[in-house]
Chain A
Amino acid sequence: NAGVTQTPKFQVLKTGQSMTLQCAQDMNHEYMSWYRQDPGMGLRLIHYSVGAGITDQGEVPNGYNVSRSTTEDFPLRLLSAAPSQTSVYFCASSYSITGGVSYTFGSGTRLTVV
């Protein structure tokens, strides 16, 4: 049981490049979400999904796209990377929106945009 798996762990992009951060969970959780963590700030919600085929925006969605074609996978796409997107990104999953004890985070992707 791997939990929530994020890849890659580290990535350096040039401004304007695109990439996809991968997130997969094997716990059959319906709810998945993406957060970014910046120094001195709490985790901020980017996008979330309450089930396959359903996604919605969080509080900082600009510059990011998501899709949810399967229950297991929830990739985050950066269409045209900007230095302001330098951050650590966490994927999380749970049985319900506000989670309870099932709320599980991945180990993160550290992204640097130069």
Chain B
Amino acid sequence: KNQVEQSPQSLIILEGKNCTLQCNYTVSPFSNLRWYKQDTGRGPVSLTIMTFSENTKSNGRYTATLDADTKQSSLHITASQLSDSASYICVVSARGFQKLVFGTGTRLLVSP
């Protein structure tokens, strides 16, 4: 069964600190993996997207990594800001399938 699992479910960090969010998936055959940021009351917004051949991609202070062999991805946030408080959702698509598989997200709270 195609699944995406994220950890931790929630996380609180102090402003300025770094953090890493994890995503494990069983989606096959793999097409791409993306990370979304969802602010409270808003729709998800794409941060990064990686295909099978890519193992790292950055978007400002956000860096995503992908290990297609172990089917794991991580999202590293550097020098966190209050505006980073949001849910971060890992999404995987499979080749030949007409839908995306969503994780349940990690809720991040950056505290002053």
Contact = CB atoms under 8 A, between A and B. Distances in A.
Interface of A: 4, 40-45, 48, 50, 56, 58-59, 90, 92, 97-101, 103-108, 110
Given A98-B31, A108-B43, A42 B99 contact: no
Contacts, number: 55
B41 A108 contact: yes
B93 interface: yes
A90 B102 CA distance: 13
Interface string B35-69: 00000011111100100000000000000000000
A105 B102 CA distance: 14
A106 B43 CA distance: 6
B43 A41 contact: no
A105 B44 contact: yes
Contacts of A42: 4, 89, 101-105
A56 B99 CA distance: 11
Contacts of B103: 42
A41 B105 CA distance: 8
